[in-house]
Amino acid sequence: MKKLSSPLSLARIRNMRRVLIFIVLIIIASYLARGYFFALEQRKAGTGSLPPYLLSEHWTGHVQEIISADSLSVLSPYGEKITIRLYGIMAPSRNEPGGPESIRFVAGMTHENMITVIPFMEDSRGRLIANVHSLRDGSNISQELVRNGLAAVSREYCRHEICMYWFGLEEDARRKEMGMWIQAH
Taking the domains of the chain in order of start, what are their residue ranges? Answer: 1-45, 52-181
Number of H helices, E strands in the chain: 5, 7
From the candidate CATH numbers 2.60.40.10, 2.60.120.10, 1.20.140.10, 2.40.50.90, the one assigned to the domain spanning 52-181: 2.40.50.90
Which residues, including other chains, have CB under 8 Å from residue 162's CB and lie 6 or more apart?
Answer: 88, 140, 143
Alpha-carbon span 54 to 149, nearest angstrom: 30
| Average confidence (pLDDT) over 124-130 | 93
Range with the lowest mean pLDDT among 20-24, 37-41, 72-76, 163-167?
37-41
Cα 134 to Cα 16, 44, 94, 166: the distances in Å are 58, 34, 21, 17
Of 67 and 32, more confident? 67
Give which of 71, 69, 132, 115 is closest to 95, Cα–Cα: 69
Alpha-carbon span 83 to 74, nearest angstrom: 6
Res. 23 pLDDT band, cuts 50 70 90: confident
Answer whether 146's CB lies under 8 Å from 153's CB.
Answer: yes
